[in-house]
Chain A
């Protein structure tokens, strides 16, 4: 265990102490204690930047389950470090924001910070683990802590609904990913990501390659809210705003992106990887931005915007994977897409984090997030307004903010994607830039909606719960920091080189050498620039005419939305399983017996015929004597009488006849002890039957004969037949001599008894006898208890007549 393990686990350790801090330092907001940790961790991870920039990585292993190859090995490379910095950096800002956002008096701060720290530790574990099983464990911990954070206000029904939905979807994906991990392990024999990458030849040719790929992508798509699994993210907006800002914009939803980037060296180069990621990414991009425009709740807009931006990053990663196919021959053509993905990942975390905080401030200071009620806040909240403009313009891809740069690179990547000469890109490739461009127009529209519907226009004080005013400074600092980063990265994008290029090294390991690429504003008169101008032009036009064409959203059939599908699916699943359970769990023992016997007969019959186990030979049989025939006849007749008699008494007597005939058989087959026992037991049980018979209630005393039921008849006949066939086969094929010859000799010589049966019962196999005595004892006590112990009946009266 080295320091870095402690660093990853430190949020979890602090989480243990948070309730104590909350309890004993009541006067101080618990968040102040929590704030220290992410700050320290951020500085700690910054110290790795130098190592990372010089192309070095750091590996440290702590044994967990070494016998199964599961070890807590931490691997710090560019990709992991980038995410660790995002997690701790934005984590500190979110904690600071939450100190001012959450009231000390009204909220349960201890649980909030415990969940948040759990999440932070889990997320650090996800991005820094080299072992896939450890990664999966932390992955599920992020799902669980996210579930807890979404349902933080658990008394609200919508919070619980959103939490359940996100839990179901992300855990579904997580389990799929676990299956993918196991498949990978089958191929390579290791859980380590680095060793898997080193043995990538084992994976690519393997028949399980595509299933593993799909399972991994399921995990990534559900976590990163890709179409059609994006539906949980808008409902997760019921969480407190700091949670939305942290989990659902900057960190957790990027875990899927991280996974795709991390597994790129394993899977990239395959057409399935390219197609699935880019196609689902571009659909998500388009659908997310298209749906965002119709939302009226600010956080919903941001949620759909997050979905669409994640789709954007995903598409770029997909297109970038083409570089592996070309074996890095012309690196700058496709790697620029991956470069754009990483760059936009950072940009998105900055502006989306600040936008969520802005929305939180608006909500906090006005009491609503509904854009139909908001307006004219510009003069009242100038700082918030400035922050919103910076965030939204960056999101829309306008210069001079960092969103412009990544949008330009995105267009470059999309345009290059059409030039890929393989995988049908020559016929379908044109869809990529077109969809990307249309989606960017919608992105522009909703970004403008956030700014102008909230901050300009007429103030409607009568619709607001509170009198709006500027937020306290502490609440403004985190979004100010993020917005300054938006501007800094916008003007000086090359400051990020130190983190972006090591990340690209992680995504494209091996012989790939990154050429020095400068990210700059002015590309010259490129198609990308014209596309951006087109986005702004069309976007402005469509924003101004939004009231006219906005009605098209009402045309979409509400029944066919994915949420309806999800809800209907859940209800259908519940109803279906209920109906299914009701269908076979009838509560009648006769139905269960039909199932048990039917299953037994069918299974045994299939086994008999399949294995050809039935054989029949008469070599070992003794000749049948006339006594046996007569006795069998008697038994058969009595047995049939039991079935067809109208009176229960006759049935009991006929059963007695069967029993006594059985005793006679024992006599015939030379088993005196059995005959004795059988006689007594039969007598006693007949007497017991008579006892039961007498106590039958008068009212429903049924004296009719058994009803004929075809199912029962078929099953009883088939069970009888199958058992007879098995008996015959067993008797016809004797595999080895029985051991009874030993008992014949030994019962007198070794045990000193002449009665062989009794010697076996009490000497050779006395243990069986002991426990049969126990059975009888238990039965006796049970009967005694059932008769004596009459506890309260339904009316509550104690009935002790027994």
Chain B
């Protein structure tokens, strides 16, 4: 099925597979649930997995064009998770209170 030019590529492919399986497991958690925080955590982890996948793919594609993507995923995953958490905790993300 796979033919590798060298050991590096074999290694990268294997790690990509592992990451994919891990992501699939996380997707299962997103779907199944049982509570919202489970899903949020799973989504956050998918984000981190995405960083790794992007990094490995960019090595495989031999390009440095995706480094921004990696950084962005990191930022967004963080912001998203925080937003979700706040939403779960307070019911809204940006508190809007003129009196303060």
Q: Which secondary structure characterizes the binding site on chain A?
A: helix
| B69/A654 in contact, CB under 8 A | no
Q: A-facing mask of B38-81, CB < 8 A → 1, else 0?
A: 01100100110010011001100101011011001100100110
Residue contact A637 to B31, C-beta cutoff 8 Å: yes
Query: Does A533 make an interface contact (CB < 8 A)?
Result: no
**A634 and B23 in contact (CB under 8 A), knowing A675-B69, A680-B76?**
yes
Q: Report A301 CB to chain B, min CB distance, Å.
A: 82
B43-A657 in contact (CB<8A): yes
Interface string of A644-687 (1 = CB under 8 A from B): 01000110011011001001100110101001100110010011
- CA–CA, A612 and B68, complex, Å: 46
Q: Is B11 in the interface zone, CB < 8 Å from A? A: no
- CB-defined contacts of A667 to chain B, threshold 8 Å: 53-54, 57-58, 66, 69
Shortest C-beta distance, A629 to chain B (Å), equals 10
What sequence of 0s and 1s flags, for each residue 593-626 of chain A, a beta carbon within 8 Å of any chain B beta carbon?
Answer: 0000000000000000000000000000000001
Say whether A654 contacts B31, CB under 8 Å: yes
Residues in A with CB closer than 8 Å to B73 are: 679
Q: How far is the CB of A481 from chain B (nearest CB, A)?
A: 90
* Chain B CB within 8 A of A1 CB: no
A694: chain B residues within 8 A (beta carbon): 87, 91-92
Q: Which residues on A sit within 8 Å (CB–CB) of B20?
A: 627, 630
When chains A and B are docked, how far (Å) is the Cα of A170 from the Cα of B27?
Answer: 73
A-B contact count (CB 8 A): 84
Q: Are A660 and B50 closer than 8 Å at their CB atoms?
A: yes
A679 and B72 within 8 A (CB): yes
Interface size on A, residues (CB 8 A): 32
| A634, A683, A686 — most chain B CB neighbours (10 Å) | A683
Among B58, B69, B84, chain A packs the most CB atoms within 10 A around the CB of B69
Minimum CB–CB distance for B79 against chain A, Å: 7
Give every chain B residue within 8 A of A626 (Cβ-Cβ).
Answer: 17
User: Closest residue of chain B to A672, judged by CB?
Assistant: B65
Decide: B72 and A676 in contact? CB cutoff 8 A: yes
Interface flag for B10 (CB, 8 Å): no
In contact, B72 and A657 (Cβ under 8 angstroms): no
B8 contacts the other chain (CB 8 A)? no
B57 near A657 with CB under 8 A, answer no
Q: Is A732 an interface residue (CB 8 A)?
A: no
Q: Known: A627-B20, A683-B80, A694-B91. Contact between A676 and B50, CB under 8 A?
A: no
Is the Cβ of B31 less than 8 Å from the Cβ of A627? no
Shortest CB distance B47–A (Å): 7
Would A664 and B83 be within 8 Å (CB), given that A637-B27, A650-B31, A654-B31 are in contact? no
Q: Which residue on B lies nearest to A801, using beta carbons?
A: B98
The complex places the Cα of A583 from the Cα of B50 at a distance, in Å, of 51
Bound Cα distance A743, B50 (Å): 31
Q: Is A767 an interface residue (CB 8 A)?
A: no
A690 at interface by CB-CB < 8 Å: yes
Q: Tell me, yes or no, whether A638 is within 8 Å of chain B by CB.
A: yes
Q: CA–CA, A627 to B33, complex, Å? A: 25
Q: A630-B20, A672-B66 are in contact. Are A687 and B83 (CB under 8 A)?
A: yes
- A positions within 8 Å CB-CB of B: 626-627, 630, 633-634, 637-638, 641, 645, 649-650, 653-654, 656-657, 660, 663-664, 667-668, 670, 672, 675-676, 679-680, 683, 686-687, 690-691, 694
A-B contact pairs, 26 of them (CB 8 A): A627-B16, A627-B20, A630-B24, A637-B27, A638-B30, A638-B31, A650-B33, A653-B30, A653-B39, A653-B40, A657-B30, A660-B47, A663-B50, A663-B69, A667-B53, A667-B54, A670-B61, A672-B69, A675-B69, A676-B72, A680-B72, A680-B76, A683-B76, A687-B83, A687-B93, A694-B87
Seed contacts A650-B31, A654-B30, A672-B66; 5 additional CB < 8 Å A-B pairs: A653-B30, A672-B65, A679-B73, A679-B76, A694-B87
Give the top 5 A-B pairs by smallest Cβ distance, nearest first.
A672-B65, A630-B20, A683-B76, A675-B69, A641-B31
